[in-house]
Amino acid sequence: MSFLDRLAAIQQQKQSRLCVGLDPDPARFPSFLLGDHSLAASAMRFNAAIIEATAPLACAFKLNLAFYENFGREGPRVIDETLDRIPSDTLAIADGKRADIGNSARFYAAATFKRHDFDACTISPYMGRDAAESFLGYEDKAVFVLTRTTNASAGALQQLEATDPEDGDDGVPRP
């Protein structure tokens, strides 16, 4: 079954469209999660509590990979343990906004879809189609292509019009 078919079935079953972000920031953990535990263990407890509380309505959980990479060697384990806790009737999205070419893109895609078995991921298309192709080869997976971001300075580049002859074809001003 395709990603979109699975998503539609989950939305119908749960009568919801909720996607829950799992972004374990130790600075925002409740004090009861800290203490004698490692930050990675606290992150796992944090994620477990959120998953348990939201699973009945959640159609998907989105893990922002930067938060997990911050845990160093324990990061991949926290990702795996988090994915193990996500109910089988719920999708898992890797929010990594990956953007690279060649072997790097191929390994990012394999880590996302084979190593961790996410259902979908986010990528940045800035480097062109060949940066996306490694991700697009997984037929039962989905790729969300970043087209507009919400950060305050995003419009400086994302809404730039290429009208100056000194600008490149990509609309990026040249020095």
Residues with catalytic roles: 97
What are phi and psi for residue 146, nearest 5 degrees?
A: -65, 120
Distances (CA, A) of 90 to 74, 83, 127: 24, 10, 31
Question: What Cα–Cα distance (Å) separates residue 53 from each residue in 63, 90, 138, 144, 173?
Answer: 16, 14, 31, 26, 48
Is residue 123 within 8 Å of residue 144, measured between CB atoms? yes
- Contact (CB, 8 A) for 104 and 126: no
